[in-house]
């Protein structure tokens, strides 16, 4: 006998289930935003000083003249602090999402919501649904879920973190659900009678350990690009400005 599929989705938000989520978010997000903002300011300040020293060595009095444009070396560290502070905010949100997954099962929550919508649409037919029909319906359901106010978390930092984490999970859920459904069909042999509960368990088991990679990998790539461009700007501002002035003259 096929186990009963997940119940239809309810309007209960994740924040209402996770009572201590605010403490988790506050611990991760603002702290990392301030930390990365400080890193950005420090790297910018060091880069500006080294750039100015190199300029004096290479250009002599020409670099001194550029030094009168004090607003440029002042703005660069401030700009870096703002840019990397924002990066730190998103990095903190990613860390908070991982903490939420560990403590409250955020992946399982999103999986249940999506499967609940599938069950609401197909009822008992879901266990025997052709893979092609499941795929087309799943795309639509996930897109609707991401724009729905059903799980409205309200306003504030905690709500922003939860919405961001839910989106990261849901946008990658289709691949895992289809693979799990296909595997259950193979195990059954006849292609029907798929256990939705086993699908849910398989997806949660496979997606949960990969959450860190999913939320942190884009941020690590972003950091590499930001830092490279920032160091080039802070460490060579006098060089770029010198060539810009020459081009204008």
Rounded average pLDDT per 10-residue block, the chain, 249 residues: 45 64 72 93 88 71 55 84 93 87 86 87 79 84 81 73 85 86 66 76 88 89 92 79 66
Confirm whether 33 is domain-assigned: yes
Query: Which pLDDT does position 83 carry in this prediction?
Result: 93
| CA distance linking residue 167 with residue 214, whole number of Å | 11
Residue the block writes with tokens 């997954």? 101
Is the C-alpha dihedral spanning 8, 152, 167, 18 positive or negative? negative
Confirm whether 13 is domain-assigned: no
End-to-end CA distance of the chain: give it in Å, rounded.
Answer: 83
Confirm whether 81 is domain-assigned: yes
Domain limits for position 78: 19-248
Query: Which pLDDT does position 4 carry in this prediction?
Result: 46
Confirm whether 14 is domain-assigned: no
Instruction: List, as one string, the DSSP characters of 23-83.
Output: HHHHHHHHHHHHHHHHHHHHHHHHHHHHHHHHHHHHHTHHHHHHHT-THHHHHHHHHHHHH
What's the pTM?
0.75
- Pair of tokens at residue 99: 């903490």
Query: Which pLDDT does position 7 carry in this prediction?
Result: 45
Confirm whether 10 is domain-assigned: no
Confirm whether 3 is domain-assigned: no
Residues 6+ apart with CB under 8 A from 242: 55, 59, 62, 66
Per the structure, how many domains does the chain have? 1
Confirm whether 223 is domain-assigned: yes
């Amino acid at each position: 006998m096929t186990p009963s599929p997940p119940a239809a989705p309810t309007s209960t938000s994740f924040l209402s289930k996770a009572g201590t989520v605010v403490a988790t978010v506050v611990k991760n997000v603002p702290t990392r935003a301030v930390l990365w903002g400080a890193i950005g300011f420090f790297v910018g300040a060091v880069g500006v000083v080294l750039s100015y020293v190199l300029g004096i060595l290479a250009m002599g009095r020409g670099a001194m003249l550029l030094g009168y444009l004090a607003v440029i070396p002042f703005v660069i560290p401030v700009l870096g602090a703002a840019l990397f502070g924002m990066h730190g905010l998103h990095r903190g949100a990613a860390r908070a999402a991982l903490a939420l997954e560990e403590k409250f099962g955020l992946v399982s929550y999103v999986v249940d919501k999506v499967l609940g919508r599938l069950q609401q649409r197909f009822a008992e037919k879901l266990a025997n649904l052709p893979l092609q029909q499941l795929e087309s319906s799943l795309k639509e359901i996930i897109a609707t879920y991401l724009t729905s106010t059903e799980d409205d978390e309200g306003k504030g930092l905690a709500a922003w973190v939860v919405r961001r984490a839910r989106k990261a999970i849901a946008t990658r859920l289709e691949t895992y659900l289809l693979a799990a459904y296909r595997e259950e069909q193979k195990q059954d042999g006849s292609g029907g009678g798929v256990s939705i509960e086993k699908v849910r368990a398989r997806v949660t088991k496979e997606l949960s350990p990969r959450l860190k990679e999913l939320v942190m990998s884009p941020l690590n790539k972003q950091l590499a690009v930001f830092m490279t461009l920032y160091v080039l700007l802070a460490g060579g501002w006098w060089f770029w400005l010198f060539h810009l002035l020459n081009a204008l003259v």
